[in-house]
A and B are shown apart, each in its own frame.
Chain A
Amino acid sequence: MPKYLFIQRSVPGESQRPSPAQMQAMFAAFNAWKEKFKDRILDMGGPLKPGGKVVTGSGTTDGPFVEAKEIVGGYMLVVAENLEAALEVARESPPTMIPGSSVEVREIRETESS
């Protein structure tokens, strides 16, 4: 079955912080989502720390780029029959519940030898 990489992005400073009551509702929804799709979630991944470095052939620079409008905040690995099934997981996933946050879904190309 194809695998998909979920890339979560958010716009820094854009979102209003949710209230404790809203966060409690979100947490309940997250757990329900995790339970519902537990067979499709291969690796929950996790949030990425800010900062980090960018390495190229010509050297190492600071990253991610401070001027970027959106920053990658986390990743996840999902297995699904097809793109539509993967999107179904994404649509109900935690990041889509956070204002100013989005999920990019990309199929991982199978290599010949696998």
Chain B
Amino acid sequence: MIEGFGSDVSRTGITGPGLVEHLFRREYGRLVAVLTRTIGVQQIERVEDAVQDAFLAALTAWTVRGLPDDPGAWLYRVAYNNLAGELRRTAGRLRILERAGDDALAERAEDPAPSYSASEVADDMLRMLFICCDDVIPPESRLVLALKTLCGFSAAEIALRLFTSEANVYKRLARARDRLRAAPFGAETPPLDTLASRLPSVHAVLYLLFNEGYLSAHAEQAIRRELCDEAIRLTTLLAEHPAGAVPETFALLALMHLHAARLEARRDGMGGLLLLEEQDRSLWDHERIRLGAEWLERAASGEVFSRFHAEAGVAAEHCFAPSFGETRWSEISNLYAMLERIDPSPLHTMNRAVAVAEWKGPKAGLAVVATLAPPAWLTDSYLWDAVLSDLHRRAGDLGIAQRHRERALASAPTDAVRDLLRRRLASSI
């Protein structure tokens, strides 16, 4: 019947200790996406409440009676009925108040629960992603809305992951929902082929989601991994769908795989960070590197060379270098130069300076830095001082190196970063 639902559940088994990781969260995202399309994006809060209540009902029912044959379909049916009941009551209330009775709502509530194929569920998930990235949603609300509706995180869980307060998450969600409530009828079912104009915004949100996991200073590796996995899951969905299958998406997905492959190896056994040259390359996930390389190959079609292409190219150079010493720094320098042209940022220039220093020596690296008019946010960050300390030390200017080292250590955001800086910049004393 409802093929799209439950397939994960029944295939892998939901019982006991073998419970599929994140199954409830994933199922939540699927149910919210499908029901939002059925009922209307204006009702998204009700949809989320109904889905959550279905899970609560499942907790008791499944514990008492054991699992239904198709748990996904069970959840869908209960959530749908919750929602239909709620909409009928609302329509009734509206009539009592002699307001313009919302017949559309009542009509929708009478629809029999429709059935979906897996590909339609994928359509719905993508629609939801595009809704989260609609221009009407304020940019700072988009990621939060996606984490809430598609990834099934609560406000508290989002706050923990984005290093912000729960109140702030609620505020961003409320702004997003206000806009959705005012959305015109039918906004939940835009034809997917009209969504191409929103792709850059979708890419930006997925990139942000990945980096929240990859670059986060979060102490818990599992939490970082989880965000990276969510980003990869949604980007894969996009890449495999006609609405999102463009070279930029492939490059973005390649970039994610190539970074994620090295995620575990970036940490030592004690939770500290490891420098690239310290990492045990045999710990890199070679299956993931292969996947990344495949997507990068697919990305290399067409005319477009996006910032994701350049970044994935850099990641690929690192992944395929047999050792730190054998890294092709000339290629990496060129890729950063391309990145600077596509997306000018002093950070890219700093990265190029580091690559050039490895390629042509520290003085050449310093010459690249000298071309910069660095903004205050950069000179105030530990990265700026760390790079300058390292380059000056290697160029033999020990006094300047020491001054930058002290500043870098003072502005390091976490102890893990500070430890890493101490090791990297140690010999400048």
Identify the closest chain A residue to B152 (Cβ).
A20
Point out the residue from A18, A21, A27, A35 that lies within 8 Å of B62, measured CB to CB: A27
Identify the closest chain B residue to A27 (Cβ).
B59
Identify the closest chain B residue to A43 (Cβ).
B64
B25 & A30 in contact (Cβ 8 Å cutoff)? no
How far is it, in angstroms, between the C-alpha of A27 and the C-alpha of B57 when the chains are bound? 11
Chain A residues with Cβ under 8 A from B60's Cβ?
46-47, 74, 94
- List CB contacts (< 8 Å) of A1-47 with chain B: 17-24, 26-28, 30-32, 34-35, 44-47
- Interface stretch (choices B153-161, B305-313, B421-429): B153-161
B52 & A24 in contact (Cβ 8 Å cutoff)? no
B24 & A24 in contact (Cβ 8 Å cutoff)? yes
A23 & B16 in contact (Cβ 8 Å cutoff)? no
How many residue pairs link A and B with beta carbons under 8 A? The number is 67
Identify the closest chain A residue to B158 (Cβ).
A19
A28 & B56 in contact (Cβ 8 Å cutoff)? no
In the complex, per-residue mask of B48-79: 1 if CB is within 8 Å of any chain A CB, else 0: 00001101101111111100000000000000
How far is it, in angstroms, between the C-alpha of A35 and the C-alpha of B66 when the chains are bound? 12
Contacts A31-B15, A44-B64, A46-B64 given; indicate if A19 touches B153 (C-beta within 8 A): yes
How far is it, in angstroms, between the C-alpha of A23 and the C-alpha of B60 when the chains are bound? 11
Point out the residue from B15, B19, B61, B156 that lies within 8 Å of A24, measured CB to CB: B19
How far is it, in angstroms, between the C-alpha of A47 and the C-alpha of B153 when the chains are bound? 27
How far is it, in angstroms, between the C-alpha of A21 and the C-alpha of B152 when the chains are bound? 8
How far is it, in angstroms, between the C-alpha of A23 and the C-alpha of B28 when the chains are bound? 11
A21 & B56 in contact (Cβ 8 Å cutoff)? no
Chain A residues with Cβ under 8 A from B410's Cβ?
none
Chain B residues with Cβ under 8 A from A17's Cβ?
52-53, 56
How far is it, in angstroms, between the C-alpha of A26 and the C-alpha of B59 when the chains are bound? 8
Identify the closest chain B residue to A22 (Cβ).
B154
Chain B residues with Cβ under 8 A from A45's Cβ?
64
How far is it, in angstroms, between the C-alpha of A46 and the C-alpha of B28 when the chains are bound? 24
- List CB contacts (< 8 Å) of B4-24 with chain A: 15-17, 19, 22-24
A94 & B59 in contact (Cβ 8 Å cutoff)? yes
Chain A residues with Cβ under 8 A from B59's Cβ?
23, 26-27, 30, 94
Identify the closest chain B residue to A31 (Cβ).
B16
Point out the residue from A21, A24, A34 that lies within 8 Å of B63, measured CB to CB: A34
B30 to chain A, nearest CB (A): 11
Instruction: Give 29 pairs: A residue, B residue, CB < 8 Å, sorted on A.
Output: A17-B53, A18-B56, A18-B154, A19-B152, A19-B154, A20-B24, A20-B27, A21-B22, A21-B25, A21-B157, A22-B154, A23-B24, A23-B59, A24-B23, A24-B24, A26-B59, A27-B58, A27-B62, A28-B16, A31-B63, A32-B16, A34-B63, A44-B63, A44-B65, A45-B64, A47-B60, A47-B61, A47-B64, A94-B63
Interface residues of A (CB under 8 A from B): 17-24, 26-28, 30-32, 34-35, 44-47, 74, 94
Complex A-B, nearest 7 residue pairs according to Cβ-Cβ distance, in ascending order: A19-B154, A24-B24, A20-B24, A30-B63, A20-B152, A20-B28, A44-B64
